[in-house]
Amino acid sequence: MDADPLPSNSIEQLLSQVEVESFSDNRIAKIKKSPSQLEVIGKGTDAIVFRHRSEADAVYKVFGTSSLAKLEQEVNAYRLLGDSPFFPKLLGVGEKYLKLSYEEGPTLYQCLAEGKIISPHIVEEVDHAIAYARKKGLNPRDIHLKNIILQNDHAKLLDISEYVLPGDDLRWDHIKQGYKLYYPYIQGRRVPVFMIEFVKNLYFRMKEDLDSFFGKLESWLEKSGF
């Protein structure tokens, strides 16, 4: 990623050429147009994350035209959070993007797929991050395996756009319950992506009846021989 730095206005010109389409049905956002100088390093339902080789420590989160309200929500959340080791730093704001600190490390989703250990203290650190955000007046939610990275054996939470919304989606509580019940059996083993996706989709279909979800999951794991 080392390169001579570009003037900020040059990167802004590149970002102005980016076109991202987001959808109302929770599909992953789609890139309609982007300059080749920008590397795609992440995709979500509301935005695409780009990086330019001249800025090793920063990324640009470009929102879809129908998701610009999420941009404002995320800006407000970052300003309330302030400086915390649990979250990226907000470095700047554009018309359709946020400039954030680049955070290296695998997501917990990738850790499962690659067989990397997710130790109990990582779960505890996520709890500490949630408590910190609540003290700042936020409502942490939408916390899942792709929104948490493992960085130098510490947890860091990404995508805080929903922290200003009301309600508790309970996703992190359910992940912790699943971790306690099943992670000892798969710790250190590579979990195929199709299995992770199966469990995720099963959860969304059955999350209103969690006991039945865990029962069906256990039965499926036994039959699959995993």
CATH number of the domain that residue 32 is part of: 3.30.200.20
Q: What is the pLDDT of residues 152-162, one digit of tens each?
A: 999 999 999 89
Residue 138, pLDDT score: 97
2 within domain boundaries: no
Residue 7, pLDDT score: 53
201 within domain boundaries: yes
Q: What is the pLDDT of residues 53-82, one digit of tens each?
A: 999 899 999 999 899 999 999 999 999 999
Same domain for 130 and 32: no
Q: What pTM does this model have?
A: 0.86
Tokens linked to 53: 């080789």
Same domain for 117 and 53: no
Q: What residues form DSSP beta bridges with 90?
A: 100
Same domain for 132 and 27: no
Instruction: Please state the domain count of the chain.
Output: 2
Same domain for 121 and 81: no
Structure letter (DSSP) for residue 121: H
Pair 98, 76: CB distance under 8 Å: no
Same domain for 217 and 119: yes
Residue 1, pLDDT score: 47
Instruction: Identify the domain boundary among 48, 70, 101.
Output: 101
128 within domain boundaries: yes
Residue 123's CB: how many other CB atoms inside 10 A? 18
Pair 49, 61: CB distance under 8 Å: yes
Same domain for 185 and 168: yes
CA gap 209, 124 in Å, rounded: 26
Q: What is the pLDDT of residues 121-170, one digit of tens each?
A: 999 999 999 999 999 999 999 999 999 999 999 999 999 989 999 999 99
Same domain for 117 and 96: no
Of 223 and 213, the structure prediction assigns the larger pLDDT to 213
Pair 220, 212: CB distance under 8 Å: no
Ranges of beta strands (E only) in the chain are 19-21, 30-33, 38-43, 47-52, 58-63, 90-93, 97-101, 148-151, 154-157
Q: Which residues of 189-221 are buried (b: 16+ CB within 10 A; e: fewer)?
A: eebeeebeeebeeebeebeeeeeebbeebeeee
Instruction: Identify the domain boundary among 101, 117, 137.
Output: 101
Same domain for 149 and 115: yes
* 213: CATH: 1.10.510
Instruction: Identify the domain boundary among 101, 134, 166.
Output: 101
1 within domain boundaries: no
Same domain for 85 and 121: no
188 within domain boundaries: yes
* Helix runs in 31-187, H state only: 68-81, 108-114, 120-135, 171-186
216 within domain boundaries: yes
**Host domain of residue 127:** 108-224
